[in-house]
Amino acid sequence: MADAKSNSIEVNEAQIAAHWKEEEYYYPTAKFISQANLVDTEVMKRFGLDNFPECFKEYGDLLDWYKYWHTTLDTSNPPFWKWYAGGLLNVSYNCVDRHLSNKKGKAALIFVPELEDEQHIVITYQELFVRVNETAAMLRDFGGLKKGDRVTIHMPMVPDLPVTMLACARLGVIHSVVFGGFSGAACGDRIADSGSRVLITSDGYFRNGKIQNHKEKADVAVARAKELGAQVDKVLVWRRYPGKYISETPMVKGRDFFVDDVMKDFNGKRVEPVPMLSEDPLFLMYTSGTTGKPKGIQHSSGGYLAYAAGTARNILDIHPDDVYWCMADIGWITGHSYIVYGPLALGTTSVMYEGVPTYPDAGRPWRIAERLDVNIFHTAPTSIRQLRKVGPDLPKKYNFHFKLMVTVGEPIEPDVWRWYYDEVGKREASIVDTWWQTETGGFLCSTKPALDPMKPGSAGPGVPGIHPVIYDEDAKELPPGSNKAGNICIRNPWPGIMQTIWGDPDRFVKTYYSKYCRNPKSKDWRDWPYFAGDGALFAADGYIRILGRVDDVINVAGHRLGTKELESACLTIPEVAEAAVVPVVDPVKGRVPEVYIALKPGVSADHGEVQRKVVNAIENMIGKIARPSHVWVADDMPKTRSGKIMRRVLAAVSNNMPVGDVTTLANPDIVESIKVMVQSQTKRAEVTDAPDDIKHFGKVE
Ligand code: WTA
């Protein structure tokens, strides 16, 4: 029923028994252990709560500071924590300049174009230094940007993207990178919310061998921002091939500029890094939540970078001489923390790949790994499932060897984990299943790769300094071994935690802290556990298994989509009266959205036409990643007597699982007719054993 008082996940013991099969342990090899960064068996003691917050001095000390901090953690205004308070540093200096003394000729970034016959581009630390300086000079003197300004960056996976981010960091300009696959309108919403007056974009890029016209999205973005009252003065366009424009969309005179043209005036320019307070914001990253409006997650300079670097060192086992490849997109938090900031702060070589993993075939990632001799590989379950589906035997055909592999973003099924371990890792590599979020800056739960055994399907314990706890609805702790699912929270703050939601501190406090705060007046961090919004189980061995979101967020191929955002897009179609979006299990992407709409009375529109309009609206307002698998036109939506749409019932129908008791609905008959419609067209097999996020979807109405 729609009476859950708050975000809840209710799982009884019988249901758990069906889902909680203990998997066997796997152990790291002696070879891995012998070279690992984190081999100190006392590390958990050192990072214990008795030693909190001073334990995080160790992470702060990985960075170079202009002025050392005076207070490791300032808790005077909970939950607005300040890490390394009083410290001054510059993030770009830490990721670039400080490596010049001993690594200037070493590759910082290796860019692999999607077209296989195009050459890799190797950018050494010296070259990165030059490019970041020139770009910073251009942004400052031509773009008119200064410390504290926001700038929206809507770019694909090209090396100019990290260069632009680091140039912003050099100036203290707050960047807001919008994933390149998002639509122009979605970018425009984020421009307006952040108050950016400059948009940095690209002309195009390759995807599945075809040029994507990216510049056209900039025009839509600027128009959308204007509708929302935000003026964009300049659009800076990086060209995929300097001097050659690959987009068909005209440049707007006086507003749009090619970066490579403008940059000619800044050849050889140097810009002193601007010393920033540890708590000055470094960037915003928009993510989806329960309401239709994306949240601008604000991250700090000092705490964020220290945490990204510390976890990259301890959990990813990054050494300066590794070749590390994370296949994520820099437009998501994984790319920020673990393609750009963490790896570069440690002075390693970070590989970035432009395109899709299966282009031109599913052997591509393994050819890249072989050629560059990548030894750390980082990706998401969606890609692993896809690569297994199309090329299960391909990894063994290539001569590459990973010491460590990462999975992130979604729960990984144990059998997918085993394929990753056996075939991709060749039974040599340690795997870390890292659970975390845009909001958390870096990893929260994972095994320590040289110290803990791995367990397929489980993220593992909290990483050093992170103390997870699982609460039930009444804030009672569900300890390890209790075999009950609950809401996972973190007891303590940590340096990578978000600072606030841009422009909406009340929403920040409400979303992440109000549910389990013990006393809103308290200045003691112990009273402010962080509420992550995921359901989880704590096994007796202290390993955590993440079950999925407890809010109205669908995780599609590791990308967070808010169901309310999709529903708002549907409601822009004049014929649509009501819309509901539910997740459907997909063997590759994890989940995909499915849409139900009811038409306005008297509308006799052609259903096919309305369905097409709905799909277009979603693609235009959000992006192709949100494309629904089906749009169902229903005569009415199943509703409670108070008129609320029962999304839970629709999710059950879409996944062909039992709908439960619907007799108390205002219109129980509609359920049967929707079921018949969906079943007759999809013929999905009946599911009795649905994943927990599906089973509990829409319990919060
Ligand atoms: C999910 C991505 C299971 C989770 C870094 C979380 C995971 C959301 C895992 C955050 C994992 C992330 N196992 N689920 N290892 N990692 N998730 O903000 O539901 O894009 O809340 O950050 O992804 O997604 P976000």
* Tokens matching residue 74: 């300032």
Q: Is the pLDDT of residue 272 over 60?
A: yes
569 φ, ψ (degrees, to nearest 5): -60, -45
**19 pLDDT more than 80:** no
Q: What is the pLDDT of residues 504-520, one digit of tens each?
A: 999 999 999 999 999 99
pLDDT of residue 47: 98
| Residues 395, 285: Cα–Cα separation, whole Å | 34
- If one residue of 297, 327, 408 were mutated to test the ligand 1 pocket, choosing by the most ligand atoms within 8 A of its CB, it would be 408
Q: Which of 410, 551, 693 to mutate to test the pocket of ligand 1 (most atoms within 8 A of CB)?
A: 410
pLDDT of residue 631: 97
**CA distances for 392 relative to 154, 387, 395, 476, angstroms:** 34, 7, 8, 45
| pLDDT tens profile 93-111 | 999 999 999 999 999 999 9
- State the pLDDT at residue 476: 96
Distance 245 CA to ligand 1 centre (A): 37
Q: What is the mean pLDDT of the chain?
A: 94
Average pLDDT over residues 412-435: 97
Work out the average pLDDT over 141-147. Answer: 98
Instruction: Tell me the mean pLDDT in the region 544-553.
Output: 89
Average pLDDT value for residue range 628-653: 91
The amino acid that residue 497 corresponds to is: I
- Cα distance between residue 279 and residue 285, in whole Å: 16
Is 283:176 a contact under the CB 8 Å cutoff?
Answer: yes
Question: Do 313 and 37 contact (CB within 8 A), yes or no?
Answer: yes
As a whole number, mean pLDDT of residues 109-120 equals 98
- Which residue lies with its CA nearest to atom 11 of ligand 1? 435
pLDDT at position 7 is 36
Q: What are phi and psi of 557, to 5 degrees?
A: 50, 40
Task: Please say whether the beta carbons of 33 and 39 come within 8 A.
Answer: yes
pLDDT in tens, 62-82: 999 999 999 999 999 999 999
Name which of 235-244, 419-428, 578-587 the model is least confident about.
578-587
Residue 517 alpha carbon to ligand 1 centre in Å: 23
352 DSSP β-pair partners: 111
Mean pLDDT along residues 171-195: 97
CA dist., res. 369 & res. 377, Å (int): 8
Q: Is the pLDDT of residue 590 over 50?
A: yes
pLDDT number for residue 484: 87
10 Å CB burial of residue 664 (0-12, 13-18, 19+) is exposed
Alpha helices in 561-683 (DSSP H): 563-570, 607-621, 647-654, 669-682
Give me the pLDDT at residue 699, please. Answer: 59
Ligand 1 atom having least distance to the Cα of 411: 3
Bridge partners, residue 405, by sequence? 377, 431
Largest CA-CA distance found in the chain, in angstroms, rounded: 74
Query: Residue with the nearest Cα to atom 8 of ligand 1?
Result: 437
Cβ neighbors of 331 (< 8 A, separation 6 or more) are 155, 177, 178, 179, 180, 181, 182
List the helix and strand counts (H, then E) for the chain: 23, 30
Residue 120 has pLDDT above 70, yes or no: yes
Half-sphere exposure of 602 (CA within 13 A, CB side): 1
Cβ atoms of residues 581 and 614 within 8 Å: no
Atom 17 (ligand 1): residue with closest C-alpha? Answer: 409
From 9, 497, 546, 554, the mutation candidate for ligand 1 (largest count of ligand atoms within 8 A of CB) is 546
Q: What is the full DSSP assignment across 403-454?
A: SEEEEESS---HHHHHHIIIIISTTTSEEEEEB--GGGSS-SB---TTTS-B
The most confident of 19-23, 51-55, 292-296, 572-576, by mean pLDDT: 51-55
Of 432, 360, 361, 371, the residue nearest 393 (C-alpha): 361
CB atoms within 10 A of CB 321: 11
CA distances from 476 to 5, 433, 547 (A): 16, 27, 19
Phi, psi of 104 (to 5 degrees): -65, -25
Name the β-bridge partners of 212.
205
Please tell me the predicted confidence (pLDDT) of residue 640.
86
Residue of minimum CA distance from atom 6 in ligand 1: 437
What letter would DSSP give residue 624? G
Give pLDDT tens digits for 486-496. 999 999 999 99
Written as six digits, the tokens of 459 are: 């993220």
What is the torsion angle, in degrees rounded to the nearest 10, for the CA atoms of residue 655, residue 657, residue 663 and residue 666? 0
For 41-63, b where at least 16 C-beta lie within 10 A, e where not — what string? eebbeebeeeebbebbebbbebb
Which bin fits 209, alpha (ψ -120 to 50), beta or left (φ > 0)?
left
Length of the chain: 701
Instruction: Provide the percentage of residues in the chain whose pLDDT is more than 70.
Output: 96
pLDDT confidence bin for 655, thresholds 50/70/90? very high
Segment 657-672 mean pLDDT: 90
Pocket of ligand 1 (CB under 6 A): 287, 332-334, 408-411, 433-438, 459, 533-534, 546, 548-549, 555, 560
Predicted local distance difference test score (pLDDT) of residue 14: 38
- Whether the pLDDT of residue 217 is over 60: the answer is yes
Q: Evaluate if pTM is beyond 0.85.
A: yes
Contacts of 389 (CB under 8 A, 6+ apart): 587, 588
**Which of the residue ranges 384-398, 522-536, 629-643, 676-690 would you say has the lowest mean pLDDT?**
676-690
Provide, rounded to the nearest whole percent, the portion of the chain with pLDDT above 90. Answer: 86
pLDDT band with cut points at 50, 70 and 90 for residue 293: confident
